[in-house]
Amino acid sequence: MTGLVYVMKWRGGLYKIGYTSRTIEKRWASKRLRADIVMVIPTDVEYPQMFEQEVHSRLAKYRASVTAELFRLNKEAFAILASYPKCKQYQ
């Protein structure tokens, strides 16, 4: 199974970092709140959910909530995300 990790601009200066096995357009359309896609990291690893968890671990110090996939990202955090192969930035 393949998928991608995405970064969505959320409310209050936060960013949601999540995973989907669908296209980013279908994932975006499924969100009740309209959020801007900021970055997409495609992955073709066998367990993409584990890849998402690895991204969350690398950005642990930026985590805004222990119960949600919400982060306060700065330039340093975006540089970490951009270092992943195939990363595509939208903004």
pLDDT band for position 88 (50/70/90)? confident
Q: Could you report the per-residue pLDDT of 32-42, keeping only the tens digit for each?
A: 555 676 777 77
Mean pLDDT of the region 61-76: 91
Q: Could you report the per-residue pLDDT of 14-57, keeping only the tens digit for each?
A: 998 888 877 777 776 766 555 676 777 777 666 778 888 999 99
Q: Are strands 36-43 and 3-9 parallel, antiparallel or unpaired?
A: antiparallel
Mean pLDDT of the region 60-80: 91
How far is CA 7 from its chain centroid? 3
Q: Can you read off the two tokens belonging to residue 87?
A: 């990363």
pLDDT band for position 5 (50/70/90)? confident
* CA 61 – CA 63 distance, rounded (Å): 6
Which residue has better confidence, 43 or 80?
A: 80
